[in-house]
């Protein structure tokens, strides 16, 4: 049995899919069909986005606010 090639998705595509999943307008199945990826992959990207969203604001968000 021949192995298929793995698809590599751009970070922007992953972000788009994960944000769509977070929006909750469509089910995972609908999103999987729309973006042609497995529902488990969408769940993983959504989890990664949720886990790393604080990094967007940098380390300064963990320190004392500038206005204090």
pLDDT digit string, tens, across residues 32-64: 999 999 999 999 999 999 999 888 887 654 555
Listed residue (9, 32, 2, 10) closest to 20, CA to CA: 32
The model's pTM: 0.73
More confident residue, 57 or 14: 14
Residue 49 and residue 18: Cα distance in Å, rounded?
A: 7
């Amino acid at each position: 049995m021949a192995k298929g090639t793995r698809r590599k998705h751009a970070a922007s595509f992953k972000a788009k899919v994960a944000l769509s999943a977070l929006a909750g307008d469509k089910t995972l199945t609908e999103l999987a069909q729309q973006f042609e990826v497995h529902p488990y992959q969408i769940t993983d990207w959504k989890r990664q986005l949720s886990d790393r969203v604080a990094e967007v604001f940098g380390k300064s968000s963990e320190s004392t606010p500038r206005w204090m």
